[in-house]
């Protein structure tokens, strides 16, 4: 099963849902995320629970345990430049099979991939990315599932909501239908299957579990 996990560092990460996955008895997942959690939170907990088989993303070095696991063959890692990762997920949600980018041409990341010259510039073909389940984080949802994001949390979350069969949104606040302005809604409810109230709040730059 492939999971798309929102977040940039810890910002915009569905910590409550990931805590539940870390505690769940079963699990051997391929995860697509910018990074693998941070300081014992988020995907770091899922990794420590032994539930990640493969990680697809851009920034894994903050998780030293994951790097060590990769170095001894216990974890498969597919490294994708950050902008390429975002565009691949966007294409998955838009029904586009892939795209050409000059990023990573001539590097080890291009090995085994198609390279085409267009107007004198070499481009690398990157396939779209879709998931079975997307776990995303928003600041607010109404009871229909319309989502509003807060600043940096509007990173991978909105595009991941379009690129998975099932979407679970963790939110800080749930309001009645009609309380959100149509102008502030980024992800329409048609993309969202489940809404979960977060158990975390941010205090002094740290995410603290409060209930």
Answer yes or no: is pLDDT of 27 > 80: no
Q: Around Cβ 64, how many Cβ atoms within 10 Å?
A: 9
Answer yes or no: is pLDDT of 67 > 90: no
- The pLDDT confidence band at residue 208, using thresholds 50, 70 and 90, is confident
CATH code assigned at 53? 3.40.1080.10
Q: Average the pLDDT over each of 90-99, 141-150, 173-182, 198-207 and give the range with the smallest value.
A: 198-207
**Residue 198 is assigned to a structural domain of this protein:** yes
SS3 42: coil
User: What is the total count of domains within the chain?
Assistant: 1
Are the C-beta atoms of residues 170 and 198 closer than 8 Å to each other?
A: yes
pLDDT digits (tens, 9 = 90+) for 78-104: 999 999 999 999 999 999 999 999 999
**Residue 153 is assigned to a structural domain of this protein:** yes
Q: For residue 5, what is the enclosing H or E element?
A: strand 2-5
Q: For 79, how many CA atoms within 13 A lie in the half-sphere containing its CB?
A: 13
pLDDT digits (tens, 9 = 90+) for 156-186: 999 999 999 999 999 999 999 999 999 999 9
Give the whole-number percent of the chain exceeding pLDDT 70. 100
Answer yes or no: is pLDDT of 146 > 80: yes
4 backbone dihedrals φ, ψ, rounded to 5°: -95, 125
For the chain, the average pLDDT equals 94
**Residue 99 is assigned to a structural domain of this protein:** yes
**Residue 53 is assigned to a structural domain of this protein:** yes
- The pLDDT confidence band at residue 211, using thresholds 50, 70 and 90, is low
Q: Around Cβ 119, how many Cβ atoms within 10 Å?
A: 5
Total residues belonging to the chain: 211
pLDDT digits (tens, 9 = 90+) for 103-136: 999 999 999 999 999 999 999 999 999 999 999 9
The predicted model gives 183-197 an average pLDDT of: 97
Q: Which domain holds residue 147?
A: 2-204
**Residue 210 is assigned to a structural domain of this protein:** no
Answer yes or no: is pLDDT of 53 > 70: yes
**Residue 128 is assigned to a structural domain of this protein:** yes
**Residue 209 is assigned to a structural domain of this protein:** no
**Residue 211 is assigned to a structural domain of this protein:** no
SS3 182: coil
The predicted model gives 10-34 an average pLDDT of: 92
């Amino acid at each position: 099963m492939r999971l798309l996990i929102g977040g940039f560092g810890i910002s915009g990460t569905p910590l409550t849902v990931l805590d539940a996955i870390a505690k769940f008895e079963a699990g051997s997942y391929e995860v697509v995320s910018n990074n693998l959690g941070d300081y014992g939170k988020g995907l770091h907990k899922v990794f420590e629970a032994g539930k990640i088989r493969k990680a697809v993303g851009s920034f894994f070095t903050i998780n030293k345990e994951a790097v060590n696991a990769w170095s001894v063959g216990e974890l498969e890692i597919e490294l994708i430049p950050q902008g390429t990762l975002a565009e691949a997920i966007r294409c998955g949600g838009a029904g586009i099979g892939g795209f050409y980018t000059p990023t990573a041409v001539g590097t080890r990341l291009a090995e085994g991939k198609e390279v085409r010259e267009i107007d004198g510039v070499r481009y690398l073909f990157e396939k779209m990315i879709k998931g079975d389940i997307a776990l995303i984080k928003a600041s607010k949802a109404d009871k229909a599932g319309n989502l509003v994001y807060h600043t940096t949390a509007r990173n991978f979350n909105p595009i991941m909501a379009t690129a998975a069969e099932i979407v679970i949104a963790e939110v800080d606040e749930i309001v009645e239908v009609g309380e959100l302005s149509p102008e502030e809604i980024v992800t329409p409810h048609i993309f969202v299957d489940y809404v979960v109230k977060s158990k975390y709040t941010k205090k002094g730059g740290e995410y603290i579990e409060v209930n």
